[in-house]
Amino acid sequence: MLKQNKEAKTAPVKQPGAFDRVIGSFASFFGNRSVWIPTVVTVVILLMLAATVIVAFEVMCLRDRVASAEEKLATLTEDTQNLRPGWVDSSFTDVQPLDLGFSLVDFKAESVDAGVRVSGAVINGSSLDHYDAVFTISLGENRRTKVTIPKLAAGHSAPFEAIVGPATDNSIPGKIRVLFSGSTVSYY
């Protein structure tokens, strides 16, 4: 019986809730100053680690964005060059517009020992007769030559052929530039 009375007189122990445990943890932390420095250092290191991971992720994303932008810029540059006059496709033999009423037809570019042989015919779509018409053919920065066509009558075409050096480079680019440089004209 005595045992039953003791059990009846003692109240059940209430476990602290989550809020009370958090407040108790803060109270014990702030009450014990010897753990402040290691805790603060640990928190700072964890924050720096998180910041480093975020920055590394951003750099990786930025690298992909830069690569994508470079691809788009290269495509845009190529498209823009295609819109500029005088660029012709080295593998296309049909009529290709040049500039100022001139067009190119039957264009061929082939590797030879001396460099690249280019040939074709220039069509004069204007109403003027051109004498000593000079065209500059460019395969790159240092690979160009001039071609002179003695007479290019209005509405007619005239063939040309030239070798673009140097002999050490006989590679054929996909795009070749043919520009009208000048001529003497005859009016009716």
Domain boundaries, the chain: 24-82, 87-186
Q: pLDDT grade, residue 80 (50/70/90)?
A: low
Q: How many residues does the chain have?
A: 188
pTM over 0.75: no
97-126 confidence digits (pLDDT tens): 888 889 999 999 999 988 899 999 999 998
Residues 108 and 119 sit within 8 Å (Cβ to Cβ): yes
CA dihedral 125, 127, 128, 133 (to 10 degrees): 0
Model confidence band, residue 151 (pLDDT cutoffs 50, 70, 90): very high
CA distances from 165 to 112, 122, 142, 168 (A): 10, 21, 9, 8
- On the question of pLDDT at 56 being above 80, the answer is yes
122, 167 contact by CB (below 8 A) = no
Q: How confident is the model at residue 36 (pLDDT cuts 50, 70, 90)?
A: confident
Indicate the average pLDDT of the chain.
Answer: 84
CATH assignment of 87-186? Answer: 2.60.40.1620
Instruction: Return the sign of the alpha-carbon dihedral for residues 170, 166, 119, 180.
Output: positive
